[in-house]
Chain A
């Protein structure tokens, strides 16, 4: 059993927050019935992962990765930050597609609540002829 170490706990603050945010986001995505809220949950989930990457790039005492005169300078790792720029773009694209889909769902079904959507679809199943068109 490792001893309780306050510095370890506080030093990994970012990572604790990553875990909490990630689980919050995932829980919202799974548990909410409102389609918009699901997307918000997904965004929180993704933001948590961004935080994981950004945290891991930080080096204690490291400066911003801009070339400076000092030969002994310690730089933070810029690569994870750059990766996350890509991931943010992917996240925005996903959100955009999701919102576009929700818009279309609202137009055709008249609701964005999952239980009502399920009910409408079950009624469509019960009357197969009307499923087309």
Chain B
């Protein structure tokens, strides 16, 4: 029995949440649906830990769906790079769900909650599926499973604020356009190679060399995934979706959905495409890299002027995605490591920050900064968590944010691109401004008249502090996360058919 489970771990990773989702619906009102979802999240987390341990030394786990051998059958292919992302997705889900109970009770009517947890599990299944699969078309299908459930999850915020509906609608339109662009790109590649298996695609594209069809495929996939990961200027769906979604959904999406899209981008740009170094490197360095730098500044500046805490953090997310993109568009070993380290670090940091925002919404009924004055005195633990996570966004030593910035600056200096290194540091100064604004309001401003606020319940505080703990733990023991990220970077580069190291 154990060996049977062990042999099918990759399939179970996706099937467990997918199959459990309808049962949430059957369990109906009460805490049954929540309990099942939480149990499943922990089970998938355990599976991804096992997969991570198996691939940590560089092994590749392959799983043939229905025993059909690739490239004809669908292959699940796990190396350290996607095991790392699987770990992030399932780990965040496992920490978020215990937090979800009280927060969702406050934001969604009881009779709708089973539907919420159903959509949540489907979203987890979709994100894990995107990450684990080795089949290009499968990526699209799982993308849409996660995206469709995400639209429903975002719209679930409409019980608090009706603008969640239009936010979800706009997200749907842009997300679908992005996914369809991605499918067009895949179609172009299929025309040329006749295969959909990513490893097989990589070999055949390298053998085929450059042609206008492959180039168009490259561009369509870049733009399609760019929409999904909110690459500046394709980020327009993100601020509204994050500000009006239920707090829990914002936490989960900010920490996982964009990260998974970044992973797909990395996989395609580094492993699958290897037709023409010149063309690819120029596209990434001359188009994606400047956009990443603009995102770092523009989104941070916009964040400074936001009144809503969730919206401010959403803009900060766009800026942080800029850092991730900057890391890997440098196209060096260190740069790629920096990008992957920041992928993890930003997931942990932003999850903590949005959890704090969720606690504020729970206790004060609003995330509007103008009505959060003096909240630091009423909710000392929650606000302290914000301060530490905020320091990590800025990039102060002993937090994970510092580790990312360190690697980014290092990567830029390695190339001799000191202006880029300076810009990384300059944009961190902008983060100081928007984080300080919140701290000032929380501690120094007087509380609004007639407001009573109590510290968030333990079930919400504890998950928040778990993330804060991770921020400090991996900030101090930086080698752990950066070794894993370095190995993931090597796995991506080594599976490539081009010499990326120059």
Residues in A lying within 8 Å of B, measured CB to CB: 22, 26, 29, 35, 38, 42, 45-46, 49, 52-53, 56, 77, 80, 83, 86-87, 90, 93-94, 97-98, 101-102, 104-105, 108-109, 117, 121, 124, 128, 131-133
Minimum C-beta distance from B151 to chain A (A): 5
Pick out which of these stretches binds chain A: B173-181, B273-281, B333-341.
Answer: B173-181
- Across-interface contacts of B168 in A (CB, < 8 A): 101
Given A45-B177, A97-B152, A101-B151, A90-B163 contact (CB < 8 Å): no
Given A29-B177, A56-B187, A56-B190, A109-B162 contact (CB < 8 Å): yes
| Contact residue among B144, B158, B176 (Cβ-Cβ distance under 8 Å from A108) | B158
Most buried by A among B158, B169, B191: B169
- Across-interface contacts of A128 in B (CB, < 8 A): 307, 368, 370
Give the complex CA separation of A131 and B368 in angstroms: 11
Give the complex CA separation of A105 and B163 in angstroms: 9
- Across-interface contacts of A86 in B (CB, < 8 A): 137, 141
Give the complex CA separation of A101 and B386 in angstroms: 34
Provide the main secondary structure of the chain B interface. Answer: helix
A29 touches B173 (CB 8 A): yes
Given A80-B190, A104-B158, A124-B180 contact (CB < 8 Å): no
Give the complex CA separation of A52 and B191 in angstroms: 10
B176 touches A102 (CB 8 A): no
Among residues of B, the one whose C-beta sits closest to the C-beta of A102 is: B169
What are the 6 A-B residue pairs with the smallest beta carbon separation, nearest first? Answer: A108-B162, A90-B144, A101-B169, A105-B165, A56-B191, A104-B165
B50 within 8 A of A: no
Among residues of A, the one whose C-beta sits closest to the C-beta of B371 is: A128
Q: Can you report 10 residue pairs joining A to B where beta carbons are below 8 Å apart?
A: A22-B184, A26-B177, A52-B184, A52-B187, A56-B187, A93-B144, A94-B144, A101-B168, A101-B172, A132-B160
Give the complex CA separation of A126 and B166 in angstroms: 18
Within 8 A of A (CB), among B260-304: none
Residues in B lying within 8 Å of A, measured CB to CB: 137, 140-141, 144, 148, 151-152, 155, 158, 160-163, 165-166, 168-169, 172-173, 176-177, 179-180, 183-184, 187, 190-191, 194, 196, 307, 365-366, 368, 370
| Contact residue among A49, A90, A98, A117 (Cβ-Cβ distance under 8 Å from B166) | A117
B155 touches A104 (CB 8 A): yes
B172 touches A94 (CB 8 A): yes
- Across-interface contacts of B155 in A (CB, < 8 A): 101, 104
A98 touches B172 (CB 8 A): yes
Among residues of B, the one whose C-beta sits closest to the C-beta of A56 is: B191
- Across-interface contacts of A121 in B (CB, < 8 A): 163, 166
Give the complex CA separation of A104 and B151 in angstroms: 13
* CB within 8 Å: A-B pair count: 82
Provide the main secondary structure of the chain A interface. Answer: helix
Minimum C-beta distance from A117 to chain B (A): 6
- Across-interface contacts of A29 in B (CB, < 8 A): 173, 177
B180 touches A45 (CB 8 A): yes
Most buried by A among B141, B161, B180: B180
- Across-interface contacts of B169 in A (CB, < 8 A): 35, 98, 101-102, 105
Give the complex CA separation of A29 and B194 in angstroms: 31
A42 touches B166 (CB 8 A): no
Minimum C-beta distance from A79 to chain B (A): 8
Among residues of A, the one whose C-beta sits closest to the C-beta of B370 is: A128
Minimum C-beta distance from A88 to chain B (A): 12
Give the complex CA separation of A75 and B305 in angstroms: 61
Given A101-B155, A108-B158, A132-B161, A87-B183 contact (CB < 8 Å): yes
- Across-interface contacts of B183 in A (CB, < 8 A): 49, 87
- Across-interface contacts of B191 in A (CB, < 8 A): 56
- Across-interface contacts of A108 in B (CB, < 8 A): 158, 162, 165
- Across-interface contacts of A38 in B (CB, < 8 A): 173
- Across-interface contacts of A52 in B (CB, < 8 A): 184, 187
Give the complex CA separation of A121 and B170 in angstroms: 14
Minimum C-beta distance from B420 to chain A (A): 33
Minimum C-beta distance from A4 to chain B (A): 18
| Contact residue among A35, A56, A83, A117 (Cβ-Cβ distance under 8 Å from B137) | A83
Among residues of A, the one whose C-beta sits closest to the C-beta of B174 is: A29
Give the complex CA separation of A133 and B162 in angstroms: 8
Minimum C-beta distance from A51 to chain B (A): 11
Most buried by B among A29, A86, A90, A101: A101
Give the complex CA separation of A86 and B140 in angstroms: 10
A90 touches B141 (CB 8 A): yes
B187 touches A42 (CB 8 A): no
